[in-house]
Chains A and B, each alone.
Chain A
Amino acid sequence: MKIRSTTFNRVLLGVVLAVALVVPLLIRTNQYNLVLVTTVLLYGVLATAWNIIGGMAGQLDLAAFAYLGLGAFTSGTLLIRWNVSPWIGMILGGLVATGFAVLVGFPLFRFKVREVWYALTSSALVEVLKVAFVMWEDVGGPVERYLPYYSFSLYHMRFGTYIPYYYIMLAILVIALVVNYRIGRSKLGFYLRALGEDEDAAEILGVDARACKLKALMIYAFLVGATGAVYACMYGFIHPNFFSGARSTEVAILGIVGGMGITYGPLLAAVILVSAREFLRASLGGQMESLYLVIYSVVLILIALFRPQGIAVMFRDAYRKLLSWITGDEHVLEANTPGI
């Protein structure tokens, strides 16, 4: 019997989703492992959202944790002061992050701040926000602000275990992936990829680069900002250190080594690299702190040097070979679908 490659794809997707759903139940007794898998998902969400502005539009945004922090502070402050549910805070946090993105993105794109300068500006923004929130004592300040504790309250999104956070994060991840996939196949996605390749050429062909980039930045900021609300609830406090330049850069690096513009690339990189890093940290950290970072950075450099196309392309080629071998269909080898 001949198996069609599309059925094969669906089965694979189903298996991955089933595994993702079952994992927390298997390790439910160990909260540390639950934090780890949730962290992997968190980076998966951030890198997937980053793929819209970074991967497709080619704008190297290094401000992921700026938007995340804004979302976390919005929803956290609303919960602490006015007892507003983080579910509403999530939307509002996303909106605040989007508003900030417009405020920053509009002049940046208007004045054609590009490439490395865009990257550095966004990187500087994270630090600006961090200092601003440390100095803004009404909301931030140098001391952690704790969210009210509940052993299990759906309204407050506060749980005594990490399992619900895992599923919330998984849901956001699925949303981020679907958004990514839909944009990738829409007109906006084609425009973004065109200007990501060569902005001037795209503009000559009639692409409104400024509007497209701003749209991409807004979608990305909203997704990340909404994730920030969950982030605050999961850790149980808000602190200006949420605005972390190093972690923001890491999100972008995951997007780059994962495979720019490929829907599942950043997620793949997050799953492989973040779990490998955490595994190394847990196993080597006892004897030699920061040895795990040495290994991690060498791996990063090697991937970027020898596989600049990204992990996803390596994976895709191997998968296609396997597929053509199983289905006997040579056609899959050259299949060219945008974003896949």
Chain B
Amino acid sequence: MDTVVQSLLNGALMGCVYALITLGLSLIFGVMNVVNFAHGDFVMLSMYFAFFIGSMWGVDAVFTPVVTFPLLFIVGVVAYYLIIDGTLRQKYVTQIAVTVGLMTFLRAITQLMWKAQPRALPYSLIQGSIHIAGYNIMLSRLISAVVSILAIGGVSLFLSKTWPGRAIRAASDDLDAASLVGVNYRWTYALAFGLGSALTAIAGGLLMTFQQVDPTMGVRFGLLSWCVLALAGLGSIPGLLISGIIVGAAESLSMTLWDPRARSLIVYLIFILVLWVRPRGLFGRK
């Protein structure tokens, strides 16, 4: 019983980071209806940036988002104007072809620069663990989860209280009406894509405190974030957090109770089942 609770705790903490990653994807897919297959590779890219900055300046991974967040925002905006913008009026298959091309590109570029072997940073400041009621909680995971929740809250505030945030939400509800009241759609889309990509920078910095990175890592995060999004549905930020926690806990439980190799199996089976049984997700609006 203790192992189950312990594993649930670990998984739930990890799930908060998944929710943060998915929030970025949800901004891109929900607002622009762009099917971004490269989202997981943005996570991989931010982890490499965190590694690069962390090892060059000797900074702890937790603080790297200060630099990587604006960096990834720029990468996202550039990617939007260079390639995504041209596909907005195309069929979704063209968008997939383009983003798969982007995915291959990011993977190849990182492999070119940092080679294929996994990279990791030295021990982070937030190492060690605390004990609460007999359970062991890793400090790095706990802080990652807290920062993720804070970041999700921040984005939520940004979307509801500021003008650009409202513009993003308006554009996702009704593009034509939003354009009529003076929302510049290209600007808004670029902002959404940039913000969606930049959120992976926070996740990347957090993940680098307890994980290593290799160029093929993007696939896992890509499918994982689509899975969380399918479970949550579009339009509910608390729902996203709950779904992330469910996926993280399920992944962790299947590793403890069944087989460490089965982690992706369970996640994908949940994904497929959700699409069959409840296509709009648990908390979706539409």
Interface of B is mostly: helix
Q: Which residues of B contact A125 (CB under 8 A)?
A: 268, 272
- Contact of A297 with B275 at beta-carbon distance under 8 Å, contacts A256-B94, A304-B94, A308-B94 already known: no
Q: Which of A121, A249, A294, A304 contacts B272 (CB 8 A)?
A: A121
The segment from B5-13, B101-109, B140-148, B200-208 found at the interface with A is B101-109
Q: Which of B93, B105, B277 contacts A60 (CB 8 A)?
A: B93
B189 contacts the other chain (CB 8 A): no
The segment from A3-11, A91-99, A129-137, A154-162 found at the interface with B is A129-137
B97 contacts the other chain (CB 8 A): yes
The segment from A15-23, A185-193, A284-292 found at the interface with B is A284-292
Whether A127 lies near B93 (C-beta < 8 A) is: no
Q: Which residues of A contact B223 (CB under 8 A)?
A: 120, 123-124, 127
- Contact of A245 with B272 at beta-carbon distance under 8 Å, contacts A113-B279, A116-B92 already known: no
A107 contacts the other chain (CB 8 A): yes
Q: Which of B93, B112, B269 contacts A128 (CB 8 A)?
A: B269
Shortest distance from the beta carbon of B30 to any chain A beta carbon, whole Å: 12
Q: Which residues of A contact B276 (CB under 8 A)?
A: 107-108, 111, 113
Q: How far is the CA of A113 from the CA of B273 in the complex (A)?
A: 11
Q: Which residues of A contact B90 (CB under 8 A)?
A: 308
A300 contacts the other chain (CB 8 A): yes
- Contact of A297 with B102 at beta-carbon distance under 8 Å, contacts A60-B93, A120-B271, A257-B97 already known: yes
Q: Which residues of A contact B279 (CB under 8 A)?
A: 111-113, 117
A305 contacts the other chain (CB 8 A): yes
Q: Which of B100, B264, B271 contacts A131 (CB 8 A)?
A: B264
Which residues of B are at the interface with A, using a C-beta cutoff of 8 A? 35, 37, 83, 86-87, 90-94, 96-98, 100-105, 107-109, 111-112, 115-116, 219, 223, 226-227, 230, 259, 261-262, 264-265, 268-269, 271-272, 275-277, 279
A314 contacts the other chain (CB 8 A): no
Q: How far is the CA of A290 from the CA of B214 in the complex (A)?
A: 14
Q: Which residues of A contact B103 (CB under 8 A)?
A: 297
Shortest distance from the beta carbon of B255 to any chain A beta carbon, whole Å: 12
Q: Which residues of B contact A305 (CB under 8 A)?
A: 83, 86-87, 98
Whether A113 lies near B92 (C-beta < 8 A) is: no
- Contact of A256 with B96 at beta-carbon distance under 8 Å, contacts A301-B102, A305-B86 already known: yes
Q: How far is the CA of A256 from the CA of B271 in the complex (A)?
A: 25
Contact residue range for chain A? 35 or more
Name A301's closest neighbour in chain B (CB-CB).
Answer: B101
Whether A135 lies near B259 (C-beta < 8 A) is: yes
Q: How far is the CA of A271 from the CA of B190 in the complex (A)?
A: 36
- Contact of A245 with B219 at beta-carbon distance under 8 Å, contacts A128-B268, A134-B261, A305-B86 already known: yes
Name B36's closest neighbour in chain A (CB-CB).
Answer: A116
- Contact of A290 with B265 at beta-carbon distance under 8 Å, contacts A117-B230, A117-B275, A125-B272 already known: no
Contacts A/B (CB < 8 Å), 6 sampled: A60-B92, A113-B275, A120-B226, A120-B230, A300-B104, A304-B94
The 7 lowest CB-CB distance pairs between A and B, nearest first, are A293-B108, A297-B104, A301-B101, A297-B105, A300-B101, A124-B268, A304-B97
Q: Which residues of B contact A127 (CB under 8 A)?
A: 223, 264-265, 268
Q: How far is the CA of A131 from the CA of B265 in the complex (A)?
A: 6
Interface of A is mostly: helix
Q: Which residues of B contact A113 (CB under 8 A)?
A: 275-276, 279
Whether B105 lies near A290 (C-beta < 8 A) is: no
Q: Which of B96, B101, B105 contacts A119 (CB 8 A)?
A: B96
Q: Which residues between 127 and 183 of chain A lie within 8 Å of chain B, taking CB atoms? A: 127-128, 131-132, 134-135
Q: Which of B35, B93, B226 has the most CB of A within 10 A?
A: B93
Q: How far is the CA of A131 from the CA of B91 in the complex (A)?
A: 32
Q: How far is the CA of A301 from the CA of B108 in the complex (A)?
A: 14
Name A60's closest neighbour in chain B (CB-CB).
Answer: B93
Whether A298 lies near B275 (C-beta < 8 A) is: no
Whether B100 lies near A124 (C-beta < 8 A) is: no
Shortest distance from the beta carbon of A339 to any chain B beta carbon, whole Å: 17
Q: Which residues of A contact B277 (CB under 8 A)?
A: 111
Name B86's closest neighbour in chain A (CB-CB).
Answer: A305
Q: A280-320 toward B: CB 8 Å interface, digit per residue (1/0)?
A: 00000000111101101110110011001000000000000
A27 contacts the other chain (CB 8 A): no
Whether B83 lies near A131 (C-beta < 8 A) is: no
Whether A124 lies near B96 (C-beta < 8 A) is: no
Shortest distance from the beta carbon of A60 to any chain B beta carbon, whole Å: 6
Whether A300 lies near B97 (C-beta < 8 A) is: yes
Q: How far is the CA of A249 from the CA of B99 in the complex (A)?
A: 11
Shortest distance from the beta carbon of A278 to any chain B beta carbon, whole Å: 15
A208 contacts the other chain (CB 8 A): no
Whether B100 lies near A300 (C-beta < 8 A) is: yes
Q: How far is the CA of A294 from the CA of B101 in the complex (A)?
A: 9
Whether A124 lies near B272 (C-beta < 8 A) is: yes
Q: Which residues of A contact B261 (CB under 8 A)?
A: 131, 134-135
Shortest distance from the beta carbon of A182 to any chain B beta carbon, whole Å: 24
